[in-house]
Chains A and B, each alone.
Chain A
């Protein structure tokens, strides 16, 4: 099977996980999870403990990298139809994705500096926007209404015990299912014939070794050159600018800034349910293991990519120009007219349109998924340009301070 099919993303994730576990355990030796001592102990790690700064930076960058690589791995499996016939493992993979984001988010709070405190406070305030369940969920995670000692204790427990345990269980299942399913989904044409297989040792294990060593080396070099950020002490009364979540939640924050119900509840719910149902919706199993399936699917994905990017950027521009967040629209109108609702409509429309035109369920699924993924990326990028007051700023523009 060609390395260009999998890109080794699954194994890179696994390598990053090994780096994260080892560096994380080392950090645990010095880190103290109390509001008084968290930043002090992180400072000690950064400046006094032998190799502490490097280990901390490795943990930080490997964590960010893992979120990114898991996302890419998810895209790979989606667009090569690696899920076909493996609905169970696909769901496990989604669970692993969510746990990865949970680990990244809980780890963000632990240094207890200005940046981490406010990012988490803004992130958990997103919960409050959710109807019905939101506030209860926030209370469960924070152990109160404010981000304080209770929240730090809970985030620490989640970060070092609960989520890693869940991750380990799901990861074992994930890998076990791959083995049960006789390896990765391979293209039907030629490659999967028995005579054409190679023994795992050394042809697979050596490749894995190479990937692992390169991943560790790259993380180590990056950790040496770019220290992990560590700001001043968390000032509970003094929000730093901007009030932003970590980058992997910016798309949510961007959508919630328009409509909490659609952006914070309906869109994520739709995204998860739709992605979970992908193996069931896609009935064209013959093209598995190839990027974008057959010719029809390739054309559909390419068209959707162009159309969705154009349309979504256009819609965003339109809404920004109309400045609907500050207009006199009611909440109901805002729920109807906002980028998240437009994305959902576009996604459903694309599903039926491409399904009817091509007659291929794979094309319909990929079209719909592409719209959603493009939206997430567009919203994330847009969120990066947001400044104080959630106004758009160019990177070279200075942020206007707001009390």
Chain B
């Protein structure tokens, strides 16, 4: 009898305790949901936009919203969600702090952000909406392409080094690449990109961190124990600027050419229409006086004779700018150092 009432007692107590615990656990779940909603309601980018509207542009008519660009290289960039002043020349005289600063220089005149986006040149992750997520590079940490002079590597995606102003470091790097004889083991293909020969294809390591690249150049066995590459400590070890420019050129090798951003790809300019690129006349037909436009050839004119590249005399240019010029076909291994 007493055991029966004991059991009854236990049941009642257990039921009461369970009700309380159940209630508490549901409360806990609601608290967790509340935390979620709270964090969802005020993301960082919203706070930035509110800050922009209140401090920079109170008269403007911006809505709080995610802004995005479908860039020509296929990226989706949401950078302007926070970098709101990037194309606002009208507010440039004010001393603005990041992320609201307008883009320096006149670059955006030729590369409007609405067409090219941001990450096509600056790297990072254009889809992200947090400071850390958006600026992260492939080697972890902040993407080196976000700062000078590494950003010049991006020019090489569409441009032949030296064909437009503003990429002096990249041009210097390209010349060093040629001058130090890197092409002997790491030749470059027709698009200015690499291929495996004696040394590995450099297009595959260009997006390692700059520190990694510097280490590899100064002490090749540090990262790759079996390497037979000589150290370039003597040539570059104490010349930080030259070292940096070579790294920028290596970085440019790893960046893909966005075919939809340019009308003529680099390969087309260099190989398929070689005559016209030097002898351009009306309608892209080859004509006029022979003159090299290549900065390297101009610079080394005094060392070179026509015969050093054209042993059987100056070639007859093909009649039109189209088609492959036989001379360029043959000599392009050395051209493609820069191109």
Contacts and interface: CB of A to CB of B under 8 A. Distances in A.
A231 B215 CA distance: 24
B325 to A, nearest CB: 32
Contact of A221 (B7, B32, B128, B215): B32
Contacts of B28: 213-214, 217
Interface in A31-72: 40, 43-44, 46-48, 50-51, 54
A28 B96 CA distance: 42
A265 interface: no
Interface in A361-401: 401
A220 B18 CA distance: 23
Interface string A182-216: 00000000000001101000110011011001101
A402 interface: yes
A313 interface: no
A206 B19 contact: yes
Contacts of A358: none
Nearest to A207: B18
A306 B19 CA distance: 43
B130 interface: yes
A235 B138 contact: yes
A43 B125 contact: yes
B35 A213 contact: no
Interface string B254-292: 000000000000000000000000000000000000000
Contacts of B130: 47
A322 interface: no
B interface residue count range (under 10 / 10 to 19 / 20 to 34 / 35 or more): 35 or more
B204 A209 contact: no
B55 to A, nearest CB: 25
A230 B134 CA distance: 12
A48 B32 CA distance: 21
Interface stretch (B103-111, B152-160, B205-213, B242-250): B205-213
Contacts of B78: 47-48
B204 A238 contact: yes
State the main secondary structure of chain B at its contact with A: helix
Interface in A222-257: 223-224, 230-233, 235, 237-238
Contact of A403 (B14, B21, B128, B223): B223
A46 B134 CA distance: 12
Contacts of B223: 401-403
B241 interface: no
Which of B32, B35, B212, B215 has the largest number of chain A CB atoms within 10 A?
Answer: B32
Interface in A62-112: none
A217 B204 contact: no
A217 B29 CA distance: 5
Contacts of A343: none
Contacts of B76: 40
A220 B208 contact: no
A43 B18 contact: no
Nearest to B17: A206
Nearest to A47: B129
5 contacts: A44-B127, A47-B127, A51-B40, A235-B138, A401-B208
Given A202-B19, A203-B18, 4 more contacts: A47-B133, A203-B11, A220-B36, A235-B138
Closest 10 CB pairs between A and B? A213-B25, A43-B127, A206-B18, A220-B32, A237-B204, A403-B224, A232-B138, A217-B32, A47-B129, A217-B29
